[in-house]
Structure 1
Amino acid sequence: RTEIEGLIGFFVNTLVMRTDLSLNPSFNELLPRIREMALSAYAHQDLPFEMLVEALQPERDMSHTPLFQVMFALQNAPMSEIELTGLTVSSLPIESSTAKFDLTLSMESTTTGLVGGWEYNTDLFDSSTIERMTGHFVTLLEAIVANPNERISQLPILTVSEQQQLLVDWNDTQVDYPQDKCIHQLFEEQVDRTPDAVAVVFDNQQLTYRELNCRANQLAHYLQSLGVGADVLVGICVERSLEMVVGLLGILKAGGAYVPLDPEYPQDRLSFMLEDAQVSVLLTQQHLVEKLQNHQAQVVCLDTDWHFISQLSQDNLITEVQATNLVYVIYTSGSTGTPKGVLIAHKGLLNLVLWHQRTLKITSSDKATQLAGTGFDAAAWELWPYLTAGASLYLVKSEILASPVNLRDWLISHQITISFVPTPIAQELLSLEWTTESLALRYVLTGGDKLNQYPPASVPFQVVNNYGPTENSVVTTSGLVVAKKQDQTSPSIGRPIDNTHIYILDKDLQPVPIGVQGELHISGAGLARGYLNRSELTQEKFIPNPFNNSKFKIQNSKLYKTGDLARYLPDGNIEYLGRIDNQMKIRGFRIELGEIEAILSQHPGVRENVVVAREDIPGEKRLVAYFVSQFEQTPTTNELRIFLKEKLPQYMVPSAFVSLEFLPLTPNGKVDRKALPVPDSHNTQLAVNFVAPCTPVEKVLADIWANVLHLEQVGVLDNFFELGGHSLSTIRVMSQVNETFQMKLPLRHLFTAPTIAELAQTIESTCGTDSTASGNEITSVNLQAEVVLDETIKPLNLVYQPVSEPKAILLTGATGFVGAFLLAELLQQTQADIYCLVRAANLSAGKQRLQETLKAYLLWEESFSERIIPVLGDLSQPLLGLGDEQFHLMARNIDSIYHNGALVNHVYPYALLKAANVRGTEEVLRLASQIKIKPVHFISTVSVFSSDEYFKLEVVQENDPLEHSQGLLAGYTQSKWVAEKIVMMARDRGLPCSIYRLGRITWHSQTGVWNPNDMFYRFIKACIQLKSAPEMNSTVEITPVNYLAKVLIHLSQQPKSLGKAFHLMNSHSAPWSQFINCIKSFGYPLQQLTYEDWQALLLRNTQISSDNALYSAISLAEDNTTSESTPNATSSLKFDCQNTLNGLADTGIRWPEVDEKLLQAFFANFSKVV
C-alpha cells in the first residue's frame, strides 16, 4: 500500500479460522473444505483482529487470548537475500521466552522439506507432552499420505512405541492363579490350618474359624435340601451381624449364589429385586419378614429357625460348583427406572481375593473391618480376602460410622490393621489427627467415589485408592496415594490389578494418547457375565474386545464400557475424571439419574422432570430434581420427598426440588441441563403454613417480593432468603420499597427483618418518626458493650521470644485482593512457609483456590507452590474451625500471624458480620496466646474513625484512642471497630500486636489489576455504564495495592513496630474531576450530573437492568456520606502517618504521585476486561 511504503515494521494480521469436521469426513473430503474456508478468510484478511474481537465481544479471560488459543503459521514464501553495498547481511533467529498463545506450530518450507517448531504455554504443557504431540502429528501425516480416503476419526495418531506402551506394557498384569477352586473351598482350607483362630467379631460376640465353618455347613445342608445348587440364586436380607456372615458363607457352600438385599432399601425396591432375581430361597431375620413381600421364595429366618438348622451335619459339603459358576448377583442403578442385576462368577472374585492378599501381604495376624452395606459390592471385598487368609474380621456397628472421630478411636482401640472406608468417610477420617501410639493400622483402603484430597504426610499408615464398577468384581485399578504431583488436582486411581486390562478409548474405540481423556474400558478375569434378564443391555455394554493379544492369556474376550471418563498419566497411573452420561456416585453408590426421574414421574402431580447432579460448591455434590406440575397446585417438597423415600434408598432422594413452568430444551429437542437454574435462586417450596398479607404495607411488600423473586404468592412469614433472595435481589427489593414508600431505608434492614411481617413493622415504625431516617435508631448496636475478650487470652506465664526469621507464618484472608498481595510479598520477602486459612472442600481445592487467586492478580510464580500451605478453616467458627488438635498444632508451629481476613460486605448489618470479623479476631488472638507467644499484625481500616466526633479533629493521629463509635452506620465498619478494640485489649494484656489501618486500596501501579468486586471499582464502572457521573468537589485517595503490601510487610518485620498503630494510605490524592477527565480520555462519554440527579438515574436503571455494577452502586447512592467506598466518604478527614513515615525512613520506599501514568495503568487494564 502506498500509505505504508515508507514504514518499517512487522505488519502481520491474525486470521481466525474454524475447521468443519462434521459428518466424519476422509482427508480427501476435508481438504476442499479447508481450501474454501481458507480462501474465504484470506478475502477478509484486511479486517484487523482487534476489530473482530471488539465486534464479537467474547467473554474475556486474562488466562488466554479471545476467539482462539491455537496458532498455525506457515512460512511458504522464500526469503530473498538482502544485499547492501559494502555490507554483509545475515539473518538472526529471534529468541522468544514467552508464549503468545496456548500452542503455536510454526512451519517453514525449505529445500529439504518442511521444518517446524512448537511454542507453548508451560502452564498447560510440559516438554514431554509436546514431544509426544510431535510424534502424534507425524504419525497422522504419514497415515494421511498412506490412506487419504480413510475417515479422519479412524486414522491413527499413536506412535508404534506408544501403542506398545498403552495396549501391551501397561496391561502386562498376568499372574497365574488356581482356576479350579471356589471361594468357600479356600475358606475350608484355611479352617484346617487355623481352626481355633478368631474369624468374625461383632460387638461382644465372636466365632472361630471352626465355629463359623460348622454353622455355615449346617445352613448349607439345609439349603441343599431346599434345592440350592450351582447358579441357583438365594436372597439374603440380614442386618450386620454374625448371622450375615454365616448366611453368605452357607449359600456359597451349598453351591448357590447370593443376592444381597440391604434392609435399608425401600420395600418397593426390595420387592422388585426379589421378583427380578426369582430367588427360590430367602434368608432373613424375623423382624424383617414383613418388609419382604410379594415374592414366592421360601423364607428362612436365621435367628428363629436356627433351632432346627443347628441339628444338621457340621461336615463340609461336596458340590459340583466350579469357578465359572455365579458367586453373587448385586443390583445397581438402572437408566430405565429399574435396578439391574450384575452377574459375578467365582473366578472374578477369586482373582480379586488372591490379588488383594498378595499385594497387601494379608496374614493370619491381620485384623480387618467390614462396614459397607451388603448391597454395596465392596462388602464382598471386605469379607473374602480375610476369611480365606486366617485374619480376624470385625463387623462395625452403624453408630460408629456416624462419626469419623469415633471410627478413628474404634480402629485404634481394636488394633485394626487394615480397613476399607468409603471415600466420603475416608476424606473426613484422613483429615483427623493420628498418633502412632497403640496404632496397628497398616492400610486404609478407599473407593466408591472420586477421592478429592491427598492425605497429610503425617498419617502413620498407607492410603490405597481403588476404582472399579460392579461389573468387574469390585476392584479394577488400585494404587497407593503418594505426594501430590504439581499437575494433578486429585489422586490417581492407580493401575489395573492382576489379570485386568484397561483401555482408554475415544467414541470410535480408538486408543487416546497419554493425558487425553477417553472412556475407560475393562477386560480381564473379573468381568461379569452380564446383566440378569437384560440381554440387550448386556450386548450394548459388553462388546467384543478388539485388542486381544497373544502375549496374554485373555480371560475374557469382551470389553466392558464403563461410561467413566479417565486419562493415562505419563507414569502409567490413571486419573478418573467423572461420568460420561448422567450417572454419578454418592457415598460409594452409583446412581443412574434416569431411575430417579422414572420414579418421580409416577407422582400424579408431576408432568415431566429431570434430575441432575450439581456441584455448585466445590466438593459438595448433590441431587436436584426439576419438575413441571401436572396441575395448578404444585406439589410441595415434603410431598415429593416422602413419595420418593417410599420407593428409593435415601441416597437417591434429591436434596432440592425446583418447580418450573417448563423444562429448557436444546435446539435438537433434548433437555438443556446447562440452562437449569441454581436451586437457591428459585422458590423450591411454597411455605407449608401460608399466611396471607393483611395490612396495606404487607400487601405492597408481598407484590414487590413476588415480582422480584418471580413467585405467584408470598406469605408474611416467608423468609426472603429461603425463597431464593440473594444480594442482588435484595438491592432491587429495597430500591422498590424506598421508591414506593418514599423512604431511604438502608439495605441492611432486609437482613435484620427478612420476613414481610418484620419488614412491614420496620417501615411502619420508621414512617411514624421520620420517613427519611437512616434507620440507625431501629437497629442501633451498643458497640462498646460488644468489646469483650476472653479472660484466658493473655500471655499467662509465657514470655515473648522474638523470632528474627520466622519459619511458619499464618495469613488469613489470602484469597482476597489485599491478602493475595500480602501473600506474594511474604513469599518474596521471607523464607517462611505461609499457612493460609481458607474455606474449601479439601486441601487440594484450598491450594487451587489460593493459586488461582494469585494468577488472577498476575502474582503467581511456580516457586511459590511448595511454601503455600492451605489450612481448612472458617473465621466464623470457634477455634477458627480447626478443631482442638489442629488448633494446638498450629499454636505450636506458627511463629507470626497476619490477620487480614474478614467478611467484607457493606450491606450486611453488624449481627451478620460479628461471627467472622469480631469472634474470628478473638480466636486469632487465642491462637497467638497459646503454647508460645506470637506477634499479631492486624489489618484494619481508617473507616473506624468515621464517627462524627473525629470530623471535629484537625488530624486523626495514629496513636489516638479509638473511643467514639456513634455515627458508624455500616455493619462492616462497626465490626472492624469492635475487632480493633479487642486487639487493643490483647495488646494491653501483654500480647505483641500491631494495627495497620488501610485507606482506599486500589489497583497495581503498573499492571492496573484491581479487585472487580471493590465497591469503588464498581462505582466507576456504574458511571461508565450510565454514561454519567455525579459532580463532587472531593479528592480521591489512591493507594496502589503493590505499594501497600510492600510497606506493610516491611513495617511488620521491624521489632520496634510492635505495639503501634499505622495509617497506611497514600499522602497524595487526586480530585474527582481528574478521574472524570481520565475516563473520557479512554473514549467513554460522561455527562456530569448533580449527585441527586445521578442517584435518580441509577435507581431508574436498576429497575430495568440486572447489571451487577448498577446493583452494587445502589448502596452507594442510598447515602454517599456514610459509605466508605464513595469518593468523599472520609476525604475531609486528615490522617497522621508519622509512625509509618518513621518506619520507612532510610528505605527508599515512597508513596507514588497520583499522576496520569498511574490513572492510565488502571483504565488501560479496565478497558481490556470490561
Structure 2
Amino acid sequence: AFKILLYRYTFQEDILVGSPIANRNRTEIEPLIGFFVNTLVLCTNLSGNLSFRELLDRVRQVTWDAQDNQDFPFEKLVEELQPERDLSHSPLFQVMFVLQNAPQVDLELSGLTLSSLNSENSTARLELTLNLQETASGLVGAFDYNTDLFDKSTINGMVGHFHSLLAGIVNNPEQRLSQLPLLTEAEKYQLLVEWNDTQIEYPQDQCFHQLFEAQGSQSPDAVAVVFKDQQLTYRELNQRANQLAHYLQKVGVKPEVIVGICVERSLEMIVGVLGILKAGGAYLPLDPTYPAERLAFILSDSQVPILLTTRKLVTELPQYHGQVICLDTDWATIAQESAQNPDSGVTVENLAYLIYTSGSTGTPKGVLVTHEGLGNLTEDKIQTCKVQPESRILQFFSLSFDASIPELVMALGSGAALHLGTPEELLPGSALMKLLREQAITHITLPPSALAVLPAEELPALQMVLVGGEAPSPELIAQWSKGRLFINAYGPTETTVNASMVECGNGGQSLPTVRPAANKQLYILDQHLQPVPIGVPGELHISGVGLARGYLNRPEKTAETFIPNPFSDELGSRLYKTGDLACYLNDGNIKLLGRLDHQVKIRGFRIEPGEIEARLTQHPIVQESVVIVREDQPGDKRLVAYVVPNREQLLTIGDLRRFIGEKLPKYMVPTAFVTLDALPLNPNGKVDRLALPVPDTARPELEAAFVAPRTPTEQVLAEIFVRVLEVQQVGVSDNFFELGGHSLLATQLIAQLLKTFELEVTVVDLFEAPTVAGLAERIEKILHGDRQAERLSETLALLNADAVLDSSICPECLTQPTVEPSCILLTGATGFVGAFLLYELLQQTSADIYCLVRADNTESAQNKLQNCLKSYLVWEESFKSRIIPVIGDLSQPLLSISKEQFHKLADKIDVIYHNGAWVHHASPYSLLKATNVLGTQEVLRLACKVKAKPVHFISASSVFPGVGNSGMKVIREQDNIDNGQVPFSGYSRSKWVAERLVTAARDRGLPVCIYRLARISGHSQTGVFNVNDFLYRLIIGCVQLGSIPDGELIQDIIPIDYTSKAVVHISKQQASWGKAFHLVNPHPVSTNLFFQKLRSLGYPIQQLPYEQWHTQLLNIAEHSPEHPLYPLFSLLPAKNSQAQPSDSTKPSDSTVVKLDYQNTLNGLTGTSITCPPIDDQLLSTYFSYLIDSGALAPPPISNELERNRTADISAV
C-alpha cells in the first residue's frame, strides 16, 4: 500500500524503498547482544495497471528474494553498484519503510512502575520514512520527513491519503491501482467543485458582432479603432462592416462558411473580421508575412471558398482557386451595399473562426472555435481587466495568433478604442514605448519577453497589463504591478484563448499562478483521469464554456484531445487535454510545471518542435534533426536546431536558414543551428536531449570562412562585436548587421568604442564600414590623425556630383506666377513644422491646400492630416473642406504619382511649399538621399512642368559648417553655401545638396525662396512641443538621469508659431523671390537656462563635469535603450574626441555660427510678427505642457509650481 501511495504521487513505475531487517537468521547469533541490522532495497515495478492482489504477489516475491540475500551488506551493495553519490541524500533510495513486528513485552521490576513514552525525532535521516508498529489493537505508525522538502500540511494530507488508500484496498482488493481511492471526500469536493465555482452571467444567446452592434447603438460617435493617423467611430465601423457583410452574403457566405482574410495591419483588417462575422461566416486569419508554402497549405487544407485581401497582396499569395475580394480596389462596389445590420441567422453554436497552430507532425492544425466562447470571453475580459468606454486598448498580436482575439473583443465589446499600431511601432523597445505614450494606451497585452525590455515607470496612462504565452518572473510582476492592474493569463487556442486570468503582484513579487476563468473548470488529473492531491503533478484538463469544436479534418486528433468529462452530469460535456503539467497549491491556485511533451512557448507563440524537425528533414542534405529550447542565460529562451548532415555533402548554415525560412513563420526559425556527426542517444535508443551540446558557434548567417583578427585594433574590435552582439566568434570580414546588429545595438557598439579607444566613431562610420577590418582601418586613421582631410575630399566630390540638377528640369512656361494662389501644394504636412505651416496657410490665404501624404488611400490621408493638427491643438472643422490629400512619396520618381496625375497636379497648383524631409541626424547621407535630395528634384520637376510655380524651400541653418571649419564669423543670407566645406551630419548634408538643386533651378528661371530654420522649439502660447526634437530629449533625459553636464550648449531656438507665421508672410511677397531667409533668434540661449528653470520647479538635478556626465550617458548607451538620451549618444561626443560633432549639437559657443537675418527683418517690416524671447515665462509655458501631457513626470511640489498652477487656475 505504501508503494501504491508513492506510485500515485510520482507516476514512477519503478519504486525503490529501503527497509531494515534484523538479520538474525542464524541460530549461532541468537544469544549474542549486538546490532546486526542490515538495510534491504526493495524494488518493485508497478506498470501494467495491476490490481492490488496482482501487486501483492509481486511485492511478496521481491520481499522473499531480498530476505534470501539479507546477509549482503548494504555498504557492499553500494560499493558494487557505484550509484551517483550526493551528500544531500542516501544512495539507492530516499524513502524507507519500517515495520516493528516484534511483540511488545511489559517490563516489570520490583518496586518500580514502568510505562512506555512516545519519543519525537528532531532529525530525519532520509527524505521520508514510514514507521509502523504492530499492536494488540492493530497497526499504528508515524511519518518522519525532511522539513526542507515537506511541510506539515503536506504530510497530514499524505496520512489522509494513506488512510483512504488502505480503506479502498480492504473494501475491494481486486480494484486496479489507478482506481483505488486516494482523496478524501472533502478533498474531492474542494478540488472538483469548490475551486471550480466560476459561474458568472454572460450573453448566452448573442454572438460577438451583436455585442459590438449594441455598443455602436449606445455610443455611435465614440472612436472604435485607430491606426496611424486614421480612425473610425463605432457608427462608421459598423456601417462599413455591414456593407461588407451584405456583399459577402450575396456571394454565398452564411453560417458555417469559412472566409479567409489576408491583409496587413489596417482599419480594413477590423472591418474584414466584423464583416465576415456579421455575414454569418467564420473567419480564417492568414498572416501575409508567413512563407508562401505555409499559406498554401492552410488554403488547401481549409478549402475556403472566399478570400479577403488587398490588391497589393494578391500577387504575393500562393495559387488560390476560390473567389478573391480586394478590400481596397473592390471597395467602391462593396460600398454600394446597405449599411444596415444584416440578418444572417447565425447562432452561438455556429463556427466563429478557424485558427491554425503548430502541429507535431510537421503540418499546422486548424482549431474550430464557435461563437459561444466569444460571448463568454468578452464579458470575462471586460470585468477582469476593468475595461471602460474611455479605455484605449493596444492591439499588439498578429490576427493569425489567437491572442489578438481578447484584445479585439474587450475593446469593441465595451465601447473602448482599439489602437492597432504599425509593425514597426509594435517592435518592443523605443518604438513601442513611443506609441504607448503618444496614444496614452490604458490596456496592453504582451508576452513577458516583450514587456521585460520596456521601462514600466514611463507610462502614466497605463492602467492594466496582461501577460500570457509564458510565465512572467516575480521581478517582472513586481515592476509592472505598481499602481496598476497586473494579470497573468493562460489558455490554449482550443479553449477560446483564456482559461485563466489571475490578478497578481500589487507592487510586490509573486509567483505566477493559474485559476479557472469565468465559466471554466480546471482539473489536474493523472494518466487514468483520477484527480491528484494538492502538490502532486498531473496533466491539466479544461472544461466549461468555450471549448473548441475540434480540429479541422483531423477527427482522430479531436477524439484524442477532446474527451468526455467524467465530472459533469451535463450532456455532451467534454474535457480538453492540455498536455501541460501542473499541480494544485494549498490556496487553490495552480502552478504550471512544464509540458508533458516537447511543445514549447516562446514570446507567447506555441511551437511544436516536431513541426520544425519535420521541415528540416525535408532538406536534401539533412539526415536527422532535433529542435529544442535552450535557456543558457536566464530569461533568454532560444530555439536551437541540431542537424546531422549527409557526410558526403557540404551543408551551409546560411542555406539551411533560408530553406527553413521559406517554409515556416519567422518565430519558428531557430536562432542557432548546430551540426553534429550523430545525435546523442540514451540507453533506450531515443535522442538524449539533455546531452545536446551548447551551441559553440554564433555565425549562423555567415557562409564565408572565418578569418581571425590580424592586428591589435582588429582583435579589440572583434571582442567588442562579440559582447554587443552576444555571439561567440567574429572574424575580420564579418558584417555587424549580418550578425544581427541594428540601430540600437549600433549605439551600444559606439559606446564601447568610446570607452575602449577614447575616441568617437559615428553611426555613419559603422554604416559605411560595418566589418571589423573596415572599422579598424577607420579607427587607426583617426588615431593617426590622417582621416579628416582624406574623407572630406571624398565626401565633397560625392556631394558635388549629387548637387547637379537634372538637365530636363527647366520651366516650360515663364508666365508671371499668380500673386494670390488658389491651389497650394505642401509637402511634409504631417511633421511638426509642416503642421504649423499648413495651419498658417489656411489662416493667411484663401487657397485650397494640397498635401502630399504617404497613405493607403485618400480617406486615411485625410484622417492623418486631421489627427496631426488635432494633436498640435490647431485643428478647426472649417479646415476640412480646404485640405486635399495627394497620395504620394517623396522618395519615388514623380513622387509616386502616375504621369497623368503628375501633369494634372502641375497644371492645377500655383505655388509649392517644400517642407518634407526625412529628419534623422544619426543616419548617413546615403540613407537620406532618396527622400531629401531626389525628392527635392522631383518637386522642382513638378514646379517647372506646364507653368512655372514658385517653390518655397524649407532648409536648415546647419547647411553652414561651424566657424572653426569655414572661417566665417558672420554668415549673410546671400552667402554661397558652396564654399568648399560641407556639414558633418548626413541630414545637414542632404539639405546642403537639396539647397544647391533649388539654387540651380533658380538660375534656370524658376522663382524660389529658401528658408534656413534654426532649432525649432514649442508653441509660445500652448507649449506644444516636438517630442522627437534633440532639445526635448535632452531635457527629458537629463531630468530622468538627475544630472546635467557643466559648460554651456548654446542653442539658437525659435518657437514654432513665430516660424510658421514668418515663413508664410514672407512667402506672399513677390519681392522675396530669389532670396534666402535666416529664421533665427536674435539672442541664442544657453541650455543652462532650461536646467535652472527645472531646478526652480523642484527637479533634483546636479551639475557634473562633462566627462563624468558623459560616462553616465555611456552607461545608458550600453544598458538602457529606452532612455530618452539613448538616441542622442552619437550626437554628444566626449570632449577629447577627435571626431567632429554633429553640426547642431556642438558643446561650445565658440563653434556657433552667427547668422545674419536682414532679409527676414525686411520681410516682416510693418507686422507684429517677432521672435519671442526665450525667457522665464516662455519656459513656464513649455514645462507646463510637458508635465500636463505626461511627457515629463511632475516634480516634488515646489512653491513656484504651486504659484504657476494657481495662476493658471485664476486665469481660467
TM-score band by shorter chain is 0.5 to 0.7
Give the C-alpha shift of residue 413 in structure 1. Answer: 3.9
Could you say if the C-alpha distance between residues 689 and 925 of structure 1 is closer, same or farther in structure 2, counting changes exceeding 3 Å? closer
- Larger of the two Rg values belongs to structure: 2
Distance in 2, Cα, partners of 1:546 & 1:392: 42
Structure 1 residue aligned with 2:616, among 582, 594, 600?
600
Tell me which amino acid in the other structure corresponds to 2:43.
R
1:591 aligns with 2:607: yes
Partner residue, 1:443: 464
CA contact (8 A) 1:659 1:684 kept: no
Quote the residue 1:14 is aligned against.
Answer: 39
Q: Distance in 2 between matches of 1:686 and 1:289?
A: 33
**CA–CA distance in structure 2, aligned partners of residues 620 and 682 of structure 1:** 15
Are the counterparts in 2 of residues 99 and 120 from structure 1 also a CA contact under 8 Å? Answer: yes
Tell me, what secondary structure is at the counterpart of 1:179? coil
Residues 427 and 451, structure 1, Cα contact 8 Å, conserved in 2:
no
Q: Which of 527, 530, 533 is equivalent to 2:550?
A: 530
Aligned residues: 705
Counterpart Cα distance in 2 of 1:715 and 1:678: 18
Flag the 1:618–1:38 CA change in 2: closer, same or farther, 3 A. farther
Contact 2:484–2:506 under 8 Å retained in 1: no
Paired amino acid for 1:517: P
**Residue equivalent to 1:491:** 512
Partners of 1:36 and 1:51 in 2: CA distance: 23
Contact 2:483 2:507 in 1 (8 A): no
Q: Shift in Å at residue 924 of structure 1? A: 16
- 2:505 alignment partner, one of 468, 482, 504: 482
Choose 174-183 or 199-208, whichever is displaced more: 174-183
Give the match's secondary structure for 2:556. Answer: helix
Is the Cα–Cα contact under 8 Å of residues 199 and 212 in structure 1 kept in the other structure?
yes
- Checking the alignment, whether the CA contact within 8 Å between 1:233 and 1:280 is kept in structure 2 is yes
Residue type matched to 1:139 in 2? S
Q: How does 1:108-147 map to 2 (within 5 A)?
A: 108-147=133-172
**What is the aligned partner in structure 1 of residue 213 from structure 2?**
188
Aligned to 1:953: none
Matched, 1:163 2:216: no
Q: Is 1:648 aligned with 2:668? A: no
Cα gap change, 1:386 to 1:683, in 2 (>3 Å): closer
| 1:5-44 aligned within 5 A | 12-44=37-69
Q: Which residue of 1 aligns with 2:530?
A: 510
Match of residue 360, structure 1, among 385, 399, 402: 385
**2:909 match:** none
Residue of structure 1 equivalent to 2:564: 544
Which amino acid is 2:473 matched to?
N
1:536–1:95 Cα change, 3 Å = closer
Cα offsets for 1:722-752 (capped at 9, x unmatched): xxxxxxxxxxxxxxxxxxxxxxxxxxxxxxx
Among 198, 211, 235, the residue aligned to 2:236: 211
Q: 2:654 touches 2:703 (CA, 8 Å); kept in 1?
A: no
Please report how far the alpha carbon of residue 408 of structure 1 lies from its aligned counterpart in structure 2 after TM superposition. Answer: 4.2
Structure 1 residues 44, 569: closer, same or farther in 2, change over 3 A?
same
Residue 434 (structure 1) aligns with: 457
| Contact map agreement 2:478 2:508 (CA 8 A) in 1 | no
Shift of 1:326: 0.9
Q: CA deviation at 1:682?
A: 12
Change (3 A) 1:686 1:256: closer
2:331 is aligned to: 306
For the Cα contact (< 8 Å) 1:69–1:103, is it kept in 2? yes
SS at match of 1:117: strand
Distance 1:219 1:692, change over 3 A: closer
The DSSP-based 3-state class of the residue aligned with 1:401 is coil
TM-score by length of 1: 0.57
Counterpart code for 1:660: L
- Asked if residue 456 in structure 1 is aligned to residue 456 in structure 2, the reply is no
Deviations 1:814-836 (A, max 9, x none): xxxxxxxxxxxxxxxxxxxxxxx
Could you tell which deviates more after superposition, 611-620 or 123-132?
A: 611-620
- 1:614 aligns with one of 616, 630, 638: 630
Residue identity matched to 1:580 = L
Deviations 1:224-269 (A, max 9, x none): 1211111111111111111111111111111111100112211111
Using the alignment, how far apart are the partners of 1:433 and 1:9 within structure 2? 70
Asked if the contact 1:216/1:247 (under 8 Å) is kept, the reply is yes
Kindly tell me: are residues 605 and 122 of structure 1, through their superposed partners in 2, closer, same or farther at Cα, counting changes over 3 Å?
same
Residue identity opposite 1:407 in structure 2: L
1:996-1145 to 2 correspondences below 5 Å: none
1:577 corresponds to? 593
1:427–1:453: 8 Å Cα contact kept in structure 2?
Answer: no
Residue correspondence of structure 1 range 849-998 to structure 2 within 5 A:
none
Q: Determine the structure 2 residue equivalent to 1:635.
A: 651
The Cα shift of 1:385 comes to 2.0
Structure-to-structure mapping, 1:410-421, within 5 angstroms: 410-421=435-446
Aligned pair in 2 of structure 1 residues 118, 403: CA closer, same or farther (>3 Å)?
A: same
CA contact (8 A) 1:140 1:156 kept: yes
Tell me if structure 2 keeps the 8 A contact 1:500–1:525: yes
Q: Spell out the pairing of 1:344-359 with structure 2 (5 A cutoff).
A: 344-359=369-384
Call closer, same or farther: CA 1:485–1:462 in 2, change over 3 Å: closer
Find the residue that maps to 1:228 and give its secondary structure.
Answer: coil
Q: Among residues 23, 28, 53, which one is paired with 2:78 in the alignment?
A: 53
Name the aligned partner's letter for residue 530 of structure 1. Answer: G
Secondary structure of residue in 2 paired with 1:246: helix
**Greater CA drift, 439-448 or 394-403:** 394-403
Report the CA distance between 1:204 and its aligned residue: 1.3
* 2:954 equivalent in structure 1: none
Matching of residue 671 in structure 1 with residue 696 in structure 2:
no
The alignment's TM-score, normalised by the length of structure 2, stands at: 0.55
Aligned-pair CA distance for 1:69: 1.4
Counterpart in the other structure of 1:230: 255
DSSP-derived class of the 2:315 partner: helix
1:606-665 Cα distance to aligned partner (Å, 9 max, x none): 122222223333433222222222351231111111100001011111122222233344
Give the Cα separation in 1 of the matches to 2:154 and 2:1042. 44
1:884 is displaced (CA, Å) by 10
- Which residues in structure 2 correspond to 1:789-868 (within 5 Å)? none
What amino acid is the match of 1:324? E
Alignment correspondent of 2:757: none
Structure 1's unaligned 5+ residue stretches are 694-713, 720-757, 759-882, 890-921, 931-1170
Q: Over residues 255-308 of structure 1, what are the superposed CA-to-partner deviations in whole Å (9 max), with x where a residue is unaligned?
A: 111100112211111111111111121111222222212111222222222222
Compute the displacement of 1:184 (Å): 0.9
Q: Which is worse superposed, 407-416 or 377-386? A: 407-416
Q: What SS does the corresponding residue of 1:350 show, helix, strand or coil?
A: helix
**1:62 and 1:718, CA in 2 relative to 1: closer, same or farther beyond 3 A?**
farther
1:470 aligned partner: 493
Q: Distance in 1 between matches of 2:273 and 2:265?
A: 12
Distance 1:242 1:621, change over 3 A: same
Q: Percent identity?
A: 57
CA positional deviation for 1:690: 6.7
1:673 aligned partner, one-letter code: R
Partner of 2:358: 333
Q: Specify whether residues 678 and 347 from structure 1 end up closer, same or farther in structure 2 by C-alpha distance, changes over 3 A only.
A: same
Where does residue 65 of structure 1 map in the other structure? 90
Equivalent of residue 321 in structure 1, options 333, 346, 349: 346
Deviations 1:862-886 (A, max 9, x none): xxxxxxxxxxxxxxxxxxxxx9999
Report the secondary structure of 2:122's partner residue: coil
Q: Which residue of 2 aligns with 1:1049?
A: none
SS at match of 2:294: helix
* Offset, 1:119: 1.6
Q: Give the corresponding residue for 1:271.
A: 296
| Alpha carbons 1:659, 1:683 under 8 Å: kept | no
Q: 1:565 to 1:658 in 2, by over 3 A?
A: same
> Given the alignment of the two structures, is residue 99 of structure 1 paired with residue 96 of structure 2, yes or no?
no
Alignment of 1:654-733 (within 5 A): 654-680=670-696, 688-689=704-705
- Residues 467 and 488 in structure 2, CA contact (< 8 A), matched pair in contact too: yes
